[in-house]
Amino acid sequence: MLDQRLQPVMPYTALVFDCDGTLADTLSANENAWRTALAGWEIELDPAWYRARTGLSGDRLLAELETETGAELDYPAVRAAALDAYQWLIHTVTPHRQVSAIAEAHRGRVPMAVASGGARQAVEETLRVTGLLPLFDAVVTRDDVRHGKPAPDVYLLAARLLDVDPHSCVAYEDTDEGVNSALAAGMTVIDVRPSLRSET
């Protein structure tokens, strides 16, 4: 049975979903990918530290890691290593059924987009592996905008591609950074975390 907390309340003209942690359970795969990548720089990724920052873009995550450790990181190289490691872990990713069911129920009824802070290659592969890609009219990623979450850029671009007013959109998110991003874009936000906690 669908969690009623996830049902959008009229009026709305479009739905916009975060990908990692919202539509798909990518936490372990992403954490392990970053851990593998950072091992090349002799940095051990603390799980609690990482999980408190899952809403950050890769560059912001690495900037905070540099501040914490004093390391000097080659951002493009670390990101590329993490992306490569993620490809080997993609088979472990599954949909969050409560959230993906909302998207499936609205297919063909309203325009829908993904607005992710992740890299396009990883986001599109995640959506393909989980079978969710055909549900969406547009996919926006960190690669498409100047500023990642918590800036509103990905959500504003998603609304523009759907040709809808951001204020008429309902966004689905699982992190504070993501919630703030969608709110800054003027969208109504449904925080999926309470529903996902009750799912497990």
Q: Is 18 a catalytic residue?
A: yes
φ/ψ bin of 164: left (φ > 0), alpha (ψ from -120 to 50), beta (otherwise): beta
Q: Kindly name the residue from 3, 18, 84, 174 that is annotated as catalytic.
A: 18
Beta-strand relationship, 94-95 and 24-25: antiparallel
Contact assessment for residue 119 and residue 79, using Cβ atoms and an 8 Å cutoff: yes
SS3 category, 180: helix
Beta-strand relationship, 112-115 and 14-17: parallel
In Å, how far are 10, 13, 56, 112 from 109, measured between CA atoms?
Answer: 13, 9, 31, 9
Contact assessment for residue 166 and residue 183, using Cβ atoms and an 8 Å cutoff: no
Q: Annotated active-site positions, please?
A: 18
